[in-house]
Amino acid sequence: MRVTEICFLAIALAAVLPAQKKPFQAQSASTVAFSVKDGQETAEITNVAYEMTGSGIPGRPRNERLMLRKTTHTKEIVDDIGTEASTTIQAWPLGIDLKQKPLYSLTVEGVDAKTVATDLLVISRGLEEVEWWSVYKLGSAAHLFDTYVPLLQFALGWEERQPRYAGVEIPPDDAPDPRLRAPNIIAALTYASADRVIREALITSDNRDLATLLRSYADSTHKAIVNEKPLPKGGSSYSITVTVGPTLPASTTSYAVTIPIAKDDLDFAHATTSPALHIAPWKR
């Protein structure tokens, strides 16, 4: 075998074989500080936690696990509404010394960073009165979507059980995308796999006053569920229902959109809506 062939074989094997794992130790300090100035009490807390993920992370080598370091810093004025908070997630392939450069480092305003299966990172962004979450890919920290209802998750298929996720975004009045500021828009629905957004949809109303009311964080409630229906030959069919309604009075009729999932996509042709609402595909 020629020298060039040997070198090529060595390079090819290096690309296939996993890097040798080495023992390591790491520690990070959690801290707390309490202060009083001009009668105002302030508490600052930094918490650090480590987490080892499972294997099978989309976009990463099949048997690789990640070691995560989650650092959350909060600053809260006692008896005031709202909290200043930021969370940093750093990730290393398991077996890499944490003194080395991480695979990625993600810092966002928010708290309570959680992993979902071996697919996603979900961080709570609601630091004041409105609850909402940002969803990221676990393998790369790339942003997938935001949701103002708890993340929906289910699995398609009878044997493969492919994980799927959904969320509902209620756009703020100052949404970065000017299209989401249109007065007829109520919400944006996202349907995704672990590594990509499969489809987005806009929920709208021709009644602009109603649309303004239903997208209000203070004056309306927003809910979403996944409906599962068993099939005669095994497996299940799924649909997503988004329900919105005024907070008061409690007896006021709510409004709903239900859209089936067919062939791993949102089935707009068979969606059903309350008379005042519409749903249509949309792309950022």
- Residues 278, 160 share a domain: yes
Whether 13 maps to a domain, the answer reads no
pTM higher than the cut 0.75: yes
Condensed to tens digits (0 to 9), the pLDDT of residues 66-78 reads 999 999 999 888 8
Nearest to 235 by CA among 155, 173, 163: 155
- Per-residue pLDDT, averaged over 232-261, amounts to 87
- Residues 106, 211 share a domain: no
Q: What's the rounded Cα separation, in Å, for the pair 233 and 227?
A: 18
Condensed to tens digits (0 to 9), the pLDDT of residues 145-189 reads 999 999 999 998 756 678 999 999 999 989 999 999 999 999 999
Token output for 175 = 């949404």
- Residues 275, 153 share a domain: yes
Whether 1 maps to a domain, the answer reads no
Residue 238 has pLDDT above 50, yes or no: yes
Whether 175 maps to a domain, the answer reads yes
User: In the chain, which ranges are E strands?
Assistant: 31-37, 40-52, 66-77, 84-93, 104-108, 111-116, 120-124, 133-137, 143-147, 152-156, 162-169, 185-192, 197-205, 220-230, 236-246, 255-261, 272-273, 277-282
- Residues 178, 228 share a domain: yes
- Residues 264, 177 share a domain: yes
End residue of a domain, out of 93, 113, 133: 113
Whether 78 maps to a domain, the answer reads yes
Least confident of 7-16, 33-42, 106-115: 7-16
**Confidence (pLDDT) at 102:** 97
Structural domain that includes position 56: 26-113
Condensed to tens digits (0 to 9), the pLDDT of residues 97-141 reads 999 999 999 999 999 999 999 999 999 998 778 899 999 999 999
Please report which confidence band the pLDDT of residue 267 belongs to, taking 50, 70 and 90 as the band edges: very high
Whether 7 maps to a domain, the answer reads no
Whether 185 maps to a domain, the answer reads yes
- Residues 99, 173 share a domain: no
Residue 250 has pLDDT above 80, yes or no: no
- Residues 152, 38 share a domain: no
Token output for 1 = 């075998």
Mean pLDDT for all residues in the chain: 88
